[in-house]
Structures are given as structure tokens and as C-alpha cells.
A and B are shown apart, each in its own frame.
Chain A
Amino acid sequence: MTLWEMKAKQQALIHSLSAKLSPAVAGRLHEMGFNAGQAILCLRRSPLRGPLVVQVGDCVYSLEQEVAQAVLLEQSAAS
């Protein structure tokens, strides 16, 4: 399951970042807190498949579909 499939208010743990991401972008995501085992909370989904809003550690980020699809989650997402 990827971050893009999360529903609002769902929580999950990050599994890994997809190898499809360029190393530079993956590195940046790591620095921003998208690391394996990190808890992630989906705060909201935007209409029209717009960017979603997630809370990771001490920050809130907005990611577009392309990036969110490259963030892989542990199987079970709890709401």
C-alpha cells in the first residue's frame, strides 16, 4: 500500500521509499522525516486528486500524487 491510498485520519507506518524516486528526491524525503518505521498520519485529502496533507514527526507536509505514490507503507493502516 502507498501513502496515496491513505484516507483522511488514517495512521500508518512507513515501510520504505520506492526505488522509482530519483536519489535526490528520496534523500530529501529522508531528511524531511520519511523514514522506515516512522508513524505517518493522513490529515486530509483534497478534491480532484489534489495533494494530500500528512503529519510526519514534527512537521505537516503536502505531497502530490506522484510523490505520495512512491512512499510505501506497512500493510496495515489503522484509522
Chain B
Amino acid sequence: MKRIILVGKPNSGKSLLFNQLTGLRQKVANFPGVTVELKSGQFEDLEVIDFPGTYSLHSLSRDEEIAIDKLGEAVHDQQTSLVVCVLDATRLERSLVFALQAQALARKNNKSVVFVLNMIDEVHRYGESIDTEKLAAELGGPVYALSAKTLEGVAAFKQALSELGQQPPAIQQLDIDADDDQQLVQRAQSLSKRFGMKADLVLKSQNRIDKFMLNNVLGGVAFLAIMFFLFQSIFTWATPLMDGVEFLLAELAHVITSFTGEGIITDFLNDAIFGGIGSFLVFVPQIMVLTLIIGILEDSGYLARAALICHKPLSFFGLSGRSFIPYLSGHACAIPAIMAARTIESPRKRLITMMTIPLMSCSARLPVYALLVAVLIPENATFLGIFNLQGAAFFGLYLFGICMALIVSLVLNVFTKKDENLTDMPFILELPSYRLPHWKPLIHRVWNSGMQFIKRAAPIIFMVSLGIWVLGYFPVGADLEHSLLGKIGHIIEPIFAPLGLDWRYGVAILMSFLAREVFVGALGTLFGIAGADENISGLAANIQADGLSLGSGIGLLLFYVVALQCVATVAVLKGETGKSSIAWGLYAAYGILAYIIGVTAAQLIGV
């Protein structure tokens, strides 16, 4: 099958054109540790590959380097018959710089190039037009003006493409030195002066909106409102979907186990398989909802403004302005947050952001916080007479997590400074035009994010939940105290002694290394409260009666703020950083750090 490749500058509407050409079926290839994504689909009997938007063929970061290397390979490949350069018709000069570089690359590989002037509808709306025939003569390749959004000119382009893909146009000779970038930039400038529309026409409306969006006061209010909306969406609105997934899994488990009857197989299916799968499939709706909102923010052009607003305060901690949304999302769930860190352009800052996101108090910590706060603090206690002390404690825990993340960022910043693979990108950000996002690329993005998570997390989750199940189940017939896990709990009791905790807490902590919310259920079993997840106050009363000192309680709470007890997060970290060592290393390091902080607090307060 012959192949055509789509290239272009970021924000040129290339992805939408790709979707309009290929329809619903597409594949996404990822490269571990970088954000490079190659999408491939089919247009008639041609394979179409969508390359990530690039400003230049000279890379600044590892991500760009990989994208450019892959582009070089693809252009060189014999199967490739045509290179399609997508240009933003409203910003001809900037689009032409990359288009001319891509043309030069194609020429070297003896490949033909066609140029697409996308967003021509906007040019027409300003009452302007572009002489495509003369531009084609200058560029030495066919030029098509179209709008992937309004579909103007798309049918004609499709028709042309099905012929050109099979029978590429002849490569015309040009008398310019394509290797001289200075000359290339000048050529782009003179061509856009001749053919393009006046720059200030396009920028006027964008700058008018920015006057509001970037205003120190109004822009700040808009920023807070948008972030509140985003946070709400992952915290509250994803909940019905998550409940739906849980319900479906419970029903499925019920149906399947009704065939297997009582016994070890049923227990295995219920606890290891459905319990294990359930513990990570519930995250899928959250991931998809967050991906959707971030996609809307990015495609509308706001994400760049949000990054600009947050850049200065976060850069103090070695983070990027684009770290803000991942950090905020991390308070709902670390998994979509780590995936959201892909929008951070600097590899080093992206790594630091991903490594510190697990310190944000995610929603899975809520049941643990709720239980321990209920045990330690009376419900109606107040603080300074007006603030509810339980509420203040919650706030303090969230704040502690954020402070820890910023401190760890500072430390990581010092340690990664010399890593040459993680060159820093300077903060040079294009503020694109505000545009209404199109649903087609968004839907694909949302779907891919969910599928990618499942593919990455499933194997690890399965292994760990199997391991914990075996330890908790055998020897057959024993309750949790006499199981292998209970025995391990007794053996490691000395480890938890400095925290003032006995073996029951040890077992619950061990079990919660799969997912921290397991802590409450496990402790419930050990304190004889069935269904403790739904009956936190009952369990809290039991623990109070049993006696948990303030020092131990606070130590345990701080332990849970810091510890990375979530195998699904480890799986995503491994996928996104491309390194097992970082993911599991972080799992261990945060565990040790959590223990040290917990013990210190417990000892200072007294157990």
C-alpha cells in the first residue's frame, strides 16, 4: 500500500484534516518516554500518517528529535509516495518556514510535495483571498486551499489526493539553496508578503480576547473559574461513570461466579480478577473526562494562556507553567494527571512534574483521610471558634501534599540539571488563535487515552493483585490474621512499632500498596466491621475504642499523604517515562520517605 504523510506546524489544523481524510478508524503509535504520537489511518487505498506538529527540522528537545528522526525515516521509506504539507492560511509566513524545510527534505529523498492551505474559510471571512496558482508556481508543487472545519475545498482535495497518492506530481527543479536556513526564512517572508493576508487582521481578534484573558484581574478570575470547572469535572462529574463501571463489573462478576459455585475458583475470580480489574478500570472514565477537558482547552487555544499565567510562580520550583493542570488534576487522580503532563514541552520539567504528581492528595486517599480524621478529631471540634477542626485537618493534609511536591521538585531540579538527555527548552510559547474545538480529533484523543491506560496498567495490576490475593487467601480456610499475609504482618510488626502501630495496621498498609483505598476495607476486616468502605464511622468508633494515639494517627496520616501506594500509577509512570526504574524507584522512595516522615511525626508527638 502506498503511503502519504501529513506534516505541518503546530496549530495548523493538521489533525482535523487527518480525521476528515481517514474517518473513524485509526491507529496510534507511541514511543515510550516521549510525547511523540504517530497516527495512521486509511484514505481509500492509501495509508495516511499524521506526524506531530513541528516548528522546525532542527530539534530543541529529545521529543522533537525523535519526531524529526521518524519523519526523516518516513520520507525516505520507499512506500511513501507523497508528502502533504499543511499550512495555516492565516499565518502563511510561519507555516511556510517549516513547509519549505519539509519540501527540501522531500526533495533530497526524491519525493513529491503538495501544499494544503488550511483554514481558508477564515481568510475569506476577512474578505481576502490567496492566489493558489501563482503560489504553486513559486513553490514548485500543487497548492490546495481548503478548510478542514467547514469542508470547503476538501472534496476537491480528496479527489486530487487519490490520484496524486498513486501518481505523484513531478518534482520541479528550484534554483534555491535549500540547506541555507537563512535563505529559507527570507523566502518564506517574501512569499507571505506577496500571497498572504495582512498579519494584523488575524491577530486583532486574538489580541482583543487576550486583553481579557490575560488581564491581571479579569484574566485571573477567568483562570480560576476554568480550573474550578476542570477540577469539578474530574472530581464530581466522572463519579456517575465510575459508579457505572463498578456496577457493570459487579454484575459481570455475579453472573460469572454463579456458574463456578462456592470455592477457591469463585473466590479467585471475585477477589483477584474482578477486584483487581475493578480497582483500575474505574479510573478509565476519569482519564477520559480529563482528557476531553484538556483537549478542549488545548484546541481552543486557552491551554497556552494558562501556561503563560502559571509560568513564573512554578518556574521557581523548576516546573513549567504547563505543570499546573497536571498538578491540579492530580488532586482527583494521579493517573490522568501524569498523562496530562504530556503537554509540557520541556522534557526535564515534564519528568519532574510526573514524578511529583503522586504527592497530590488524590481522591483514593479520601477514605483513608476520612477514617483517620474521624478517629482523631471529634466531629464538632472547632478551630479559632469558627472553623471546623476536621475540615481544617483535611485542608492541612492537602497543603502538606502540595508542599512536599514542591520541595521534591526543587530537589529533583538540582539533581537532573546535568542530565544531557533532558535538555531544557526555554519558555518560547506561541499563543495560537482562539478557535472552537472540533469534536472529531477530540473523540479520538479521549478514546485513545482510555485504551492506552488499559493496555499499560492491566499486566502490572494483574500481577500485583494476584500476589496479594495469594498471600491473603492461603493457607485455605484461614482468616486474614492466620493467612500468609497476616503472618508477614506479625513478622514485620517491629517495622511499624516506631509508629506505635500493631500488626493489623501493618497488614492493612501492606495490602494498600496495591491501591491505598484498600486500607479502609482491610482494616475493617481486621477490626470486625464488614463493608467498612460504606461504614466509616462504625470502623472509626471501633478503632477509637481499641485506642489509637494522636502521634500514631498523625504519623499514619502523613504516611498516606506521601506514600505512592497505587500500582496503576506506577504502571502509568513506567509507560510515560519509558523507564521501569523510575516508576518502581519512586514507589520505593516515596514509601521510605513516607515512613521516615510518619515515624518522625509520631515520635515528636508521642505514641
**Do A and B belong to a common assembly?**
yes
Q: Using CB atoms, name the residue of chain B closest to A57.
A: B93
Instruction: List, in ascending order, chain A residues with CB within 8 A of B417's CB.
Output: none
Tell me the minimal C-beta distance from B321 to chain A in angstroms: 8
Please tell me the number of chain B residues within 8 Å of chain A, measured between CB atoms: 40
Q: Which of A50-70 contact B (CB under 8 A)?
A: 50-51, 53, 55, 57-64, 66-67
Instruction: List, in ascending order, chain A residues with CB within 8 A of B182's CB.
Output: 30
Tell me the minimal C-beta distance from B56 to chain A in angstroms: 5
Instruction: List, in ascending order, chain B residues with CB within 8 A of A46's CB.
Output: 214, 308-309, 312
Overall SS of chain A's interface: mixed
Please report the C-alpha to C-alpha distance between residue A28 and residue B64 in the assembled complex, in whole angstroms.
12
Which residue from A44, A58, A61 sits with its C-beta under 8 Å from B192? A58
Please report the C-alpha to C-alpha distance between residue A66 and residue B315 in the assembled complex, in whole angstroms.
12
Which residue from B56, B90, B202, B427 sits with its C-beta under 8 Å from A62? B427
Contact B428 A31 (CB under 8 A): no
Q: Does B584 contact A (CB under 8 A)?
A: no
Q: Using CB atoms, name the residue of chain B closest to A46.
A: B312
Q: Does A32 contact B (CB under 8 A)?
A: yes
Contact A31 B97 (CB under 8 A): yes
Instruction: List, in ascending order, chain A residues with CB within 8 A of B429's CB.
Output: 51, 61-63
Instruction: List, in ascending order, chain A residues with CB within 8 A of B309's CB.
Output: 46
Q: Does B452 contact A (CB under 8 A)?
A: no
Contact B308 A60 (CB under 8 A): no
Q: Does B430 contact A (CB under 8 A)?
A: yes
Please report the C-alpha to C-alpha distance between residue A29 and residue B216 in the assembled complex, in whole angstroms.
27
A-B contacts at CB below 8 angstroms, number: 109
Tell me the minimal C-beta distance from B278 to chain A in angstroms: 44
Contact A28 B60 (CB under 8 A): yes
Q: Using CB atoms, name the residue of chain B closest to A21.
A: B426
Q: Given A30-B181, A33-B94, A51-B429, do A58 and B199 touch, yes or no (CB 8 Å)?
A: yes
Q: Does A48 contact B (CB under 8 A)?
A: yes
Which residue from A28, A31, A33, A50 sits with its C-beta under 8 Å from B311? A50
Contact B91 A58 (CB under 8 A): yes
Q: Given A25-B426, A27-B181, do A48 and B94 touch, yes or no (CB 8 Å)?
A: no
Contact A25 B60 (CB under 8 A): yes
Which residue from B94, B196, B428 sits with its C-beta under 8 Å from A63? B428
Tell me the minimal C-beta distance from A35 to chain B in angstroms: 7
Q: Does B313 contact A (CB under 8 A)?
A: yes
Instruction: List, in ascending order, chain A residues with CB within 8 A of B430's CB.
Output: 32, 59-62
Contact B56 A61 (CB under 8 A): no
Q: Does B431 contact A (CB under 8 A)?
A: yes
Contact B428 A53 (CB under 8 A): no
Instruction: List, in ascending order, chain A residues with CB within 8 A of B59's CB.
Output: 24
Instruction: List, in ascending order, chain A residues with CB within 8 A of B185's CB.
Output: 30-31, 35
Instruction: List, in ascending order, chain A residues with CB within 8 A of B426's CB.
Output: 25, 63-64, 66-67
Instruction: List, in ascending order, chain A residues with CB within 8 A of B235's CB.
Output: none
Tell me the minimal C-beta distance from B508 to chain A in angstroms: 45
Q: Which of B193-216 contact A (CB under 8 A)?
A: 196, 199, 202-203, 206-207, 210, 214, 216
Closest 7 CB pairs of A and B: A50-B312, A64-B427, A58-B199, A60-B431, A58-B91, A62-B429, A62-B308
Q: Report 29 cross-chain contacts, Cβ distance below 8 Å, ordered by A residue.
A: A25-B60, A27-B56, A28-B58, A30-B185, A31-B55, A31-B181, A33-B93, A43-B207, A46-B309, A48-B312, A50-B312, A51-B312, A53-B210, A53-B308, A57-B189, A57-B199, A58-B90, A58-B91, A58-B92, A58-B192, A58-B196, A58-B203, A59-B91, A59-B94, A61-B431, A62-B304, A63-B427, A64-B426, A66-B427
